[in-house]
Amino acid sequence: MRTGPILIGITGNIGSGKSAFCRLLAEHGYEVIFSDEIAQRQLDEPECLEQITRRWGKELAVDGKADRKKIASIVFGNKEELEFLNSLVHPRALAVLQEIADNSEQKYLFFEVPLLFEAGMQHCFDYIVLVRASREKRLQRLLKKGQETQERIEARMDAQIDDLAKIPLCDLVIDNKGSLNALKNSVKEFIGRLDSIRHKDKIPFSS
């Protein structure tokens, strides 16, 4: 039987509240790995940065770090450039995730993976939680942050797999349509069922 931590993937479309769910888990003392942060760090790795500047120009590197805003503007809505970026970042990020899992002494290890299904990572976890909310609710939350235009937000939403297609593939669905207190209660209920989760046959993040 496989040993090591039980790997739990937390996912959800933008504005669903998955990050808030994960932060609440962390407040309860659980280790949460944010895959986007791991992926972002790979951009500054010398080999990755060299490939980026070779393709898009030296101005994409500032003081040895990738200019994330410029990269985002290049890949947004451009499938070919996005695939190029993913080909650089994903293998490196997956290797880091695997190293974390292999060396963890935690009983449960949580991973926030926004594009879990889009990246085909559903077989990497023992248990998957989907945090969801209506499109209208998610749009309202994201517009309130004031970081992006409605057009850009909706384009990002359209690029993600719809919740209805993800639900049958998940072990638990959290409907985050209410208040923060309601989400806190959902987290507590989820923690209460952790003992029932078991290891599954799964594939590693990287091989």
Across the chain, the runs of DSSP E, i.e. the strands, are: 6-11, 32-34, 61-62, 65-66, 108-112, 127-132, 172-175
Residue 204 lies in a domain: no
Residue 205 lies in a domain: no
**Torsion 37-42-45-48 (CA) sign:** negative
Residue 109, classed as helix, strand or coil, is strand
Which tens digits make up the pLDDT trace of 61-84? 998 899 999 999 999 888 899 999
Q: Say yes or no to pLDDT of 175 above 70.
A: yes
Q: What is the DSSP letter of 123?
A: G
User: How far apart are the two ends of the chain, measured CA to CA in Å?
Assistant: 19
Counting the structural domains of the chain, the total is 1
Residue-wise burial string across 44-73, b where 16 or more C-beta atoms lie within 10 A, e elsewhere: eeeebbeebeeebeeebbeeeebbeebbee
- pLDDT band, residue 204 (cuts 50/70/90): confident
Average pLDDT, the chain: 93
Q: Say yes or no to pLDDT of 106 above 80.
A: yes
Strand 6-11 relative to strand 127-132, pairing: parallel
- 6 vs 149: CA distance, rounded Å: 39
| CB-count burial class (<10 Å; 0-12, 13-18, 19+) for 81 | middle
Residue 98 lies in a domain: yes
Q: Say yes or no to pLDDT of 1 above 70.
A: no
Q: Which residues, in sequence order, are bridge partners of residue 112?
A: 10, 34
pLDDT at 71: 95
Instruction: Return phi, psi of residue 46, to 5°.
Output: -50, -45
Residue 110 lies in a domain: yes
In the chain, the percentage of residues whose pLDDT exceeds 70 is 98
Residue 94 lies in a domain: yes
- Under 8 Å between Cβ of 2 and 80: no
Rounded to an integer, the average pLDDT of 167-181 is 95
Q: Say yes or no to pLDDT of 116 above 60.
A: yes
Which tens digits make up the pLDDT trace of 120-156? 999 999 999 999 999 999 999 999 998 889 998 998 8
Residue ranges making up the domain that contains 150: 6-195
Residue 1 lies in a domain: no
Residue 196, classed as helix, strand or coil, is helix
Residue 206 lies in a domain: no
In the chain, the percentage of residues whose pLDDT exceeds 90 is 82
Q: Say yes or no to pLDDT of 206 above 80.
A: no
pTM for this predicted structure? 0.91
Which tens digits make up the pLDDT trace of 20-73? 999 999 999 999 999 999 999 999 999 999 999 999 999 999 988 999 999 999
Residue 74 lies in a domain: yes
Instruction: Return phi, psi of residue 129, to 5°.
Output: -110, 130
Rounded to an integer, the average pLDDT of 99-113 is 95
- pLDDT band, residue 202 (cuts 50/70/90): confident
pLDDT at 129: 98
Of 25, 50, 63, nearest to 184 (Cα)?
25
pLDDT at 207: 52
Look at 207 and 146; give whichever has higher pLDDT: 146
- 16 vs 112: CA distance, rounded Å: 12
CATH code for position 81: 3.40.50.300
